[in-house]
Amino acid sequence: MSSIVTSQGILHFEIFGRGEPIILLHGWINSWDVWRSSMLALGTGIPETNSASRRVYALDFWGFGDSSKPDDALESPYILASYVEMVREFMDNMGINIAPVAGHSLGGTVALLFALAYPERTEKVIIVGSPIVGSSLNPFLKLAGYGWIARLVWGIPIIRSAIMRLLLSGDSRQIQQMIYRDVERSCRESFFRSIGDLRDTDLRKQLTNLSVPTLGIYGKRDNIVSPSNAEFLIADAQRAEVTIMQRSRHFPMTDEPELFMDVMTGFLNQNGRH
């Protein structure tokens, strides 16, 4: 377990491997652990794809996992713009000048915004099941972004558990256990403010300014974020490619791990940033 002190308190992260850096960002009510198997593959290298090992950093956003959960900040640390600055602050602290940034779900939207704000520090972008248009979120997630609903759900655990069971009913036990654990490690403010900000996001116009190579990976059976977001990425970003994983839901890194890593490392291995 590693951490640094940031403007919003402790930022927890995990490190694995040696080589060129890559930064991994998790999704809503999740933690770095969603990337565990991917970290192992990236950190050791994959001979079959001629992939060299990398130094992998997987971060916990403020309000999630083992990072700080500040409640006295003048401005909410649980919105997308704050998380973009969190990534920049992390890179500054660690002496990382430029790196690929990959994100799952909410983390992928943060990765896109980071690349738009700091293209000179973004080698490549990989988004996994990430909303470009917030209206594409599952209706239950959009409702969770309203404070009074979040307070109700947060205050009555049986309701929260019932919604989680409904959303995750088609996922593996591994994914269910991970989410059940991670939601208990988040806080009410991060629970509703982050998803509320994501719900109100529409990056289509901004994507026309995205200049770095970008990969979108979506599960065809995703019930959390519509895979139709892939169409927005292709239509609006300058240098984007997309893979639709046919047997995956919202967690393709777990649903089809070998194919997922083949696609991810193939993109990372492509020569050149420009």
Q: State the pTM of this model.
A: 0.94
Domains of the chain: 2-269 (3.40.50.1820)
CA distance 22 to 59: 11
Q: Hey, what are 31's tokens? A: 């933690």
CA distance 266 to 243: 12
Are residues 241 and 268 in contact, defined by beta-carbon separation less than 8 angstroms? no
pLDDT at 99: 98
What is the average pLDDT score of the chain?
A: 92
CA distance 149 to 249: 26
The H or E element that residue 219 is part of is strand 214-219
pLDDT at 274: 45
Q: In Å, what is the CA distance from 191 to each residue of 34, 56, 94, 137, 144?
A: 17, 26, 28, 15, 8
Buried b (16+ CB within 10 A) or exposed e, 59-81: bbbbbbbbbbbbeeeeebbbbbe
Please write the tens of the pLDDT for every residue from 66-116: 999 987 655 789 999 999 999 999 999 999 999 999 999 999 999 999 999
pLDDT at 73: 55
Q: How confident is the model at residue 273 (pLDDT cuts 50, 70, 90)?
A: low
What percent of the chain shows pLDDT beyond 90? 78
The DSSP output letter for 8 is T
CA distance 181 to 187: 12
Average pLDDT rounded to a whole number, residues 157-165? 83
Please write the tens of the pLDDT for every residue from 18-50: 999 999 999 999 999 999 999 999 999 766 666
Q: Hey, what are 18's tokens? A: 């040696």
